Amino acid sequence: MSDCVYSVRGRTKAVKKKWKWILGITTLVVVAGGSAIAVKMRDRDVVSVQTGRAVRQDLVSLVTASGEIKPRNYVNIGANVMGRITELKVREGDRVARSQVLARLESVQAEADVQAQQASLNSSLAEAAASEAGLLAMDENLKTAAASVDRARAELDRARLDYERAEQLWKEKLIARQEFDSKKAQFDALEAGVREAVSRVAQMKAQRQQTAAQLSSAQRRVAQVRATLNRFSDVLQKHSAVSPIDGIVTNLPVREGETVVPGVQNSSASLIMTIADMSIITAEVKVDETDIVNVSMDQEADITIDAIPGKTYRGRVIEIGNTAILRSTGLAASQSAVSSQEAKDFKVVVALNDPPVEIRPGLSCTAKIITATREKALSIPIQALTVRQRGDLEPKKEGTVQASTKADPEKAKRDKEELQGVFVIAAGQAKFVEVKTGITGATDIEVLTGLKEGDEIITGSYRAIRTLRNEAKVKIDNKTPGQPAQ
């Protein structure tokens, strides 16, 4: 009987001990869970962020653009007439001089026309020379005839005096009739001689006018034939390709025996060769429309050429295009009949200061144009910048409806004003500070107002900066990715 009582008591004590353990463990779990929940509720509004410092450093603002290497001055030598290439005097890569003949086209008909017109010109010149010589001879004869008239008139005047004296003596019966008749006959003969000389001078003047007219006609024929010869000579010259500049043959797509035609745009049959002046090599790049306002003349640039890796060449901006170029078609925006909102570029030409010898036109390149520099500028990482509306930064009372914005349009407009700034760490909170910025470097941006050197600002993450509220509680976590928590 007593053994049974002891057995029951032992089991009862064991059950009580078991329940004590269960209750103890349950109590610990509840307490731990409550503590975790309390901690989680306490840290629910705390945002984990990365931070940095506003520091002073040298900044360089760059505009990066891609393009290709081109000579500053180059000329596409095209065909001016249709014909077969009979002679190519240069090869690709040859250096040529201004006015040098580069190629000749078949010109049998053009040469024949020139020769015929040259013969006609020679005949006209001979005719004009003969007329001019005859005119000169007539001028001499006319001078002689005029002198003869003067001499005949002088002799007539002398004979008139003798006749008048003889007539007076005859009336006074001092001379014989025969002598008087002789003086009268001499006077009449000389008077007739003067009339003949005068008539001969008039005839010679008429002949001179006729010869002068013939000379003028011959000279007009010479001018006409010479004009025709110039036209045919110009046609003949167009059968020869001549270099207008000093340079190098950079493109020679044709061969002897091929036929070229003029005036066909973008046709291989209209281009004979390309002459490039390699004394000035440029990088012609396309700058985005958002960056072109920062580019100015004579700004320095660093140029890299894809075909020459590991080397950077210095240059300066020598030309800035004024016409926007559509990125999709490469045409000027002014040439497009349809208004387009697509991205546009502007042409910028950078002259290389010391181009390499192995450079070739058409090589792809990248230019980094230095638009501005600042020494020891107060700067922050670019990603720290964010934008907030002014109304979101003002403290709001819970449980109240802000109807004042509806009643006050000016306040509503002011609340929607966007402010650029950063979040500064202050007493464990993120304080939004409006800043004004200057130039932009590769990863940092200049701060003009709003911050001072050493201020701790929030730099990440992107999601945290985008959604962070003013005066929110934050927790700094600057460990690098993959680094174990301290």
Query: What pLDDT shows up at residue 101?
Result: 93
Q: Which residues contact 12 (CB under 8 A, 6 or more apart)?
A: none
What type of residue is 179?
E
Query: What pLDDT shows up at residue 8?
Result: 47
Task: Characterize 21-33 residue by residue with b for buried, 16 or more Cβ atoms within 10 angstroms of its Cβ, and e for exposed.
Answer: eeeeeeeeeeeee
Q: Which residues contact 414 (CB under 8 A, 6 or more apart)?
A: 390, 391
- Domain 49-58+378-396+403-476 matching CATH 1.10.1060.10: the answer reads no
Query: What pLDDT shows up at residue 404?
Result: 52
CA distances from 403 to 408, 414, 478, 480 (A): 9, 15, 42, 46
Query: What pLDDT shows up at residue 34?
Result: 55
What type of residue is 196?
E
CB 321 within 8 A of CB 348: yes
Query: What pLDDT shows up at residue 31?
Result: 59
Query: What pLDDT shows up at residue 485?
Result: 43
Residue keyed to tokens 């650029």:
420
| Residue 101 token pair | 């003949």
Closest CA to 452 of 38, 6, 55, 22: 55
CA distances from 166 to 153, 176, 183, 185, 187 (A): 20, 9, 7, 12, 11
pLDDT tens for the chain, residues 1 to 486: 445 444 545 555 565 666 667 776 776 766 565 555 544 545 556 888 999 999 999 999 999 999 999 998 888 888 888 889 999 999 988 999 999 999 999 988 888 988 998 998 898 889 888 888 888 888 888 888 888 888 888 888 888 888 788 888 878 877 888 887 888 888 888 888 888 888 888 888 888 888 888 888 888 988 998 999 899 888 888 889 999 999 889 889 889 988 888 865 555 567 889 998 888 899 999 999 999 999 999 999 999 999 999 999 999 999 999 988 888 887 787 776 565 677 889 999 999 998 888 888 889 999 999 999 999 999 999 999 999 998 888 766 544 445 554 557 888 888 888 999 999 999 889 999 999 999 988 899 999 999 999 999 999 888 888 888 888 899 988 876 545 544
CB 393 within 8 A of CB 419: yes
CATH 2.40.30.170 residue spans of the chain: 279-376
CB 352 within 8 A of CB 303: yes
Distance CA 282, CA 72 (A): 6
State the Cα angle at 11 between 9 and 14, rounded to 5°.
110
CATH 2.40.420.20 residue spans of the chain: 49-58+378-396+403-476
Query: What pLDDT shows up at residue 192?
Result: 86
For domain 109-237, which CATH number applies: 2.60.120, 3.30.70, 3.30.420, 1.10.287? 1.10.287
CATH fold of the domain at 279-376: Elongation Factor Tu (Ef-tu); domain 3 (2.40.30)
CB 271 within 8 A of CB 302: no
